[in-house]
Copies of this chain bind each other. A is one copy, B any other.
Amino acid sequence: MLTERQMLILQVIIDEFIETAHPIGSRAISKKGTIPYSAATIRNDMADLEEKGFLEKTHSSSGRIPSEKGYRYYVDHIAASISGQSDEYIIKDLIQDGFYEFEQIVQLSAEVLSELTNYTSIILGPEMMETKLKQIQMITLTPHTAVVILVTNTGHVEHRTFTIPSEINPSDLEKMVNIINHHLAGSPVISLPELFNSEIISMMKKYMDDFDQTYQYLKTAFLAEQPVKLYIGGVSNILMQPEFNDVEKIRTFLTMMEKEDEIATLLKQTDDGINVTIGQENEVEAIKDFSLITSTYRLDEGQHGTIALLGPTRMEYKRVISLLKVLSNEMTEALYMWYKNNG
């Protein structure tokens, strides 16, 4: 479909545009020397490429810029093969350094990723899918307040403070917590609500006087939806990109970034491995002007999180893709080591 030369021209244009964000003219390409043909020849090919939808003009006598279809072709046919190297060591060093806190490493990764690329990085914390309940603790603060702490096998901790109404007997609550620990420890967190209903209720009826209220209470206390944690890095970095020359664009972008739950659902839907969605390919209206590159990392079987970079469609695809590959591999490996060595 595309001649050898046309492909080359497309590549040069995209590379150049990614760097400068300015439309590229035939003369400029010719002078660069990468393609040993005259401006006129290149001009003809460019006209063809435009006709086929890989290039666009901003106005009738401007240079060409890549269309989304052009980027797509570039990502699929051209950028795929190349791997970056220089960033690799930064990432590896980052992960190597001490690793006591999962959250720290993730937050740090998000920041470094953004710093390295000047795009916005978003890391979705591991989903609790296959996380298992390790233990529940209830600690009474005052006769009528308590904090319930839920610990998973991955070391994740959730807690919730609540008031104990006077109708409820604190010792009932304690009994209940014991029952839960005894019967549900080791169960996947995600199935807790269900198990709670099926297994625990009957148990409790035996042991407790005032069942209903206690039940309702504990239920809301720790079955409330547990938000997936989102680590966002360098929201201000992306504003360095020349496409944000317009105040209005910044506003819409930032407003979008504040809707963390939407972003989370978006990232959850990604497939395994590297994933590139360009402009209009994105289903979410708000990022139809952006490209989103995602990569998954795994903690344990079935348990995975997502690393993403959000930038303008004019993105350094080659570099970003290899960067995400390295990072997600390193994260997977680091986490694997952590579990296997210690487990």
Copies of this protein in the assembly total: 2
1/0 per position for A242-268, CB-CB distance to B under 8 A?
001111001100110110000000000
Complex Cα distance A131/B5, Å?
71
Contact A338/B163 with A134-B141, A239-B250 known, Cβ cut-off 8 Å: yes
Write 9 A-B pairs (CB below 8 A) sorted by A numbering.
A101-B160, A134-B139, A137-B137, A141-B154, A143-B343, A144-B341, A144-B342, A157-B157, A245-B247
Q: Is the CB of B147 within 8 A of A139?
A: no
Q: Which of A122-174 contact B (CB under 8 A)?
A: 134-135, 137, 139, 141-145, 147, 149, 151, 153-155, 157, 159-164
Q: Is A236 an interface residue (CB 8 A)?
A: yes
**B residues near A236, Cβ cutoff 8 Å:** 251, 254-255, 257-258
Complex Cα distance A100/B221, Å?
9
Q: Which residues of A contact B (CB under 8 A)?
A: 99-102, 134-135, 137, 139, 141-145, 147, 149, 151, 153-155, 157, 159-164, 234-236, 239-240, 244-247, 250-251, 254-255, 257-258, 338-339, 341-343
- Chain A at the B interface: SS class: mixed
Those 6 A-B pairs whose CB atoms lie nearest each other, nearest first? A144-B342, A155-B161, A236-B254, A142-B343, A157-B159, A145-B342
Complex Cα distance A338/B164, Å?
11
